[in-house]
Amino acid sequence: MPTVIEPKLIAGNANKPLAQAIARRMSLYRGMTVGLVDARVERFNDQEIFVEVFENVRGEDMFILQSTSNPANDNLMELLIMSDALRRSSAARITAVIPYFGYARQDRRTKARTPITAKLVANMIAEAGIERVLTMDLHAAQIQGFFDIPVDNLYASPIFALDIKKQFDDLSDVMVISPDVGGVARARELAKRIEAPLSIVDKRREKPGEVAEMTVIGNVTGKRCIIVDDMCDTAGTLCKAAEVLMEHGATEVHAYISHGVMSGPAVERVTKSVMKSLVLTDSIQPTAAVAGAPNIRILPTAPMFAQSILNIWNGTSVSSLFETETLGPIYEGIL
């Protein structure tokens, strides 16, 4: 009989708790122990990264679990070096599971003499021997086209929809808000799932990180507003949008964000803001400050990633997880 190749997981240092949670969920789904491959990812004194895999991976279907979050350069190099180590150890296939894809905001030339770094990173990943990428909520959908290898882009909106339906007993006064014109498609997707109307906060930036003016497009008077976006960095735009919505008559403001970058003053701003709650996924490992904030909640992505990895390994559909009917049972008892 032919030998069945089992999926094997290996994790970098970017988000060990998520990697361990994915392994636990896969163990639950398969009815057998699925652990992380024994390896060390360390640094020399000059901060060069060194990887050593202690298990035989010849002919194995390998999945590298690594977000390219802060410190982005270190975590990206870890991913590339782990892939090189596995490729040179004769792994049959290498899939990079990147819950948060860094450098995604540099997806186009915004002015003269600037790079398209997202494309550069895509080239580096492919050249390192990675044959497939699994990620979630890319900042720009066209980044999938930057790769010459298959890319599965999962969406957090089905998880958000499940959580909203549980947290909000009555959805009749709920309105979904896009914090800018570029995020309308993402907000519309969530609004369709919970059958809520859509509004937009149009913003103008004088320079990156600073918002000059905000205008609300739509009537939010008497509405419980849910801002949805793919990432929250310093939280300046998010907190300002919440203030503007309250000034325009919203009764309360919540936010659902796929990736909690949460740099600098972000936690302090969110804690002091008019937002009633901020909901993040664990695609980026929450800091102690984020985990301890009274109005921030974390939603798990491990059930979705674990099932996606198994679907890739089995050669079955990953897009089936976009449907509530498929994802709902996976999250039953979790949300």
Known binding-site residue numbers: 46-48, 105-106, 139, 180, 205, 229, 233-237
On whether the CB atoms of residues 116 and 106 are closer than 8 A, the answer is yes
Q: Which residue from 299, 309, 286 is spatially nearest to 331, judged by alpha carbons?
A: 299
Strand 210-217, strand 198-207: pairing: antiparallel
Q: Which of 203, 207, 240, 276 is catalytic?
A: 203
Place of tokens 């030998």: 3
Binding site members for ATP? 46-48, 105-106
Task: Give the number of other CB atoms < 10 A from CB of residue 59.
Answer: 11
Report residue 280 as tokens: 């993040």
Largest CA distance in the chain: 69
Number of CB atoms found within 10 A of residue 135's CB? 22
Give binding residues for Mg(2+) as ranges.
139, 180
Q: Sign of the CA dihedral 197, 294, 286, 231?
A: positive
Which among 162, 167, 117, 161 has a CA at the least distance from the CA of 143?
Answer: 117
Q: Which residues are annotated as a binding site for D-ribose 5-phosphate?
A: 205, 229, 233-237
Residue 203 among the catalytic residues = yes
The rounded distance, in Å, linking the Cα atoms of 94 and 215 is 46
**Other Cβ atoms within 10 Å of 212 Cβ, number:** 9
Looking at the DSSP assignment, which residues form a beta bridge with residue 199? Answer: 177
Tokens 């990895």 correspond to: 309
End-to-end CA distance of the chain: 42
Closest listed residue to residue 270, CA positions, set 283, 286, 285, 254: 254
Per the structure block, which two tokens stand in for 243? 């203030």
Return d(Cα 66, Cα 49) in angstroms, integer: 15
Instruction: List the catalytic residues.
Output: 203
